[in-house]
Amino acid sequence: MLVLGIESSCDETAAAVVDHTGLVLSDVVHSQVNLHAQYGGIIPELASRDHLRNIEPVVSEALARASTTIHQLDGIAVTQRPGLVGALLVGVQAAKGLAWGSGKRLVGVDHLVGHLLAAYLQRSELRVETPQFPYVCLLASGGHTGLYRLESSKPEDIVELGATRDDAAGEAFDKVGKLLDLGYPGGPTIDRLAKAGNPSRYSFTVPMQAKDSLEFSFSGIKTQVASHVERHGKPTSAADLADLCAAFQRTVVTSLTRKLFAAAAREGVSDVVIGGGVAANRELRETVLAQAQKRGVRAFVPDIASCTDNAAMIAYVGLTALERGESSGWDLAATSRTALARATRKGRGMR
């Protein structure tokens, strides 16, 4: 079985071809980072227009790299939710047109489920080990942060254990990056600078430390950094900047990893997974692997290309749905809301 995946939920136009084993035959991503960097964040209208310009060449390139044609596919999967609706519409309409013209089955995919199952992607002929159900996954990205228990690849078998009450982890990285004049996106730059810094020089409070809570909050750590800058000014030396980045990053990583392993212990699972753009963070990846070894838990850290937004994970989720005999109709619609049931309420206060 071969499936073409199309992803356009935010600021990457992506297409990929994946086979029934999860092997990624092609994975093409056109990034809009340079387009949005001058504005310090994503401009939805610009994102939609750029998707329109690039969807056809990106899909064509993905098919060419996979040495296949649209007629050799068994189905076409596309991200339909959640995301920027205008951006999603470009991918959904392109997928509908391709499916209708070729007579192939169409399947809509939840972007979050793609990240939750990205650990099953195989990016070389040398197969990597994959997690066994049930497992707990930490999904951390620019728009989403949460812990999920997966009983299977079906969306109805995925349960949110806890999510962020306010900012997502990646959003906090980008906002702190903007505060420190590090450009957009801030996450990769903070990670690079933190590698040379001393995380113990500055002390920030790890948010939401209650042992029985699997919920997150990252607006507070952003405010702590802003308060530090207000009192002491922006770092004027490379060493001071590296130390501040290291302290901020250590605080966020500590929050994420503590709750990931607390969730694994509470759920009684032996496999943990991380996914989403923040899962490309060097310190988070190293900490999860080290803590898993210490606790006797198996940790699965996907290839960085599988963590950031990509169409291969969309193709894989679509493939699992097609194997179950599921497909979507021509009324497939783009929506900003995930299909996964939410357990965490936004905002402050007791629960």
Q: How far apart are CA 112 and CA 211, in angstroms?
A: 26
Q: Which residues of the chain have pLDDT under 70?
A: 348-351
Contact between 158 and 148 (Cβ < 8 Å):
yes
- The amino acid present at 240, given as its one-letter code, is D
Longest pairwise C-alpha distance within the chain: 63
Spatial CA neighbour of 249 closest among 278, 229, 277, 227: 278
- Check residue 349 and give its pLDDT: 57
Specify the pLDDT at position 234: 95
Reported as a single tens digit per residue, the pLDDT across 282-316 is 999 999 999 999 999 999 999 999 999 999 999 99
Residue range(s) in the chain whose domain bears CATH number 3.30.420.40: 2-121+306-323, 135-302
Q: For the whole model, what pTM was predicted?
A: 0.95
The pLDDT of residue 94 is: 98
pLDDT at position 253: 98
Q: What phi, psi does 336 have (nearest 5°)?
A: -85, -5
pLDDT at site 199? 97
CATH T-level fold of 135-302: Nucleotidyltransferase; domain 5 (3.30.420)
In this prediction, residue 125 carries a pLDDT of 81
Classify domain 2-121+306-323 at the CATH topology level: Nucleotidyltransferase; domain 5 (3.30.420)
DSSP notation for 61-129: HHHHHTT--GGG-SEEEEEEESS-HHHHHHHHHHHHHHHHHHT-EEEEEEHHHHHHTGGG-B-SSSPPP
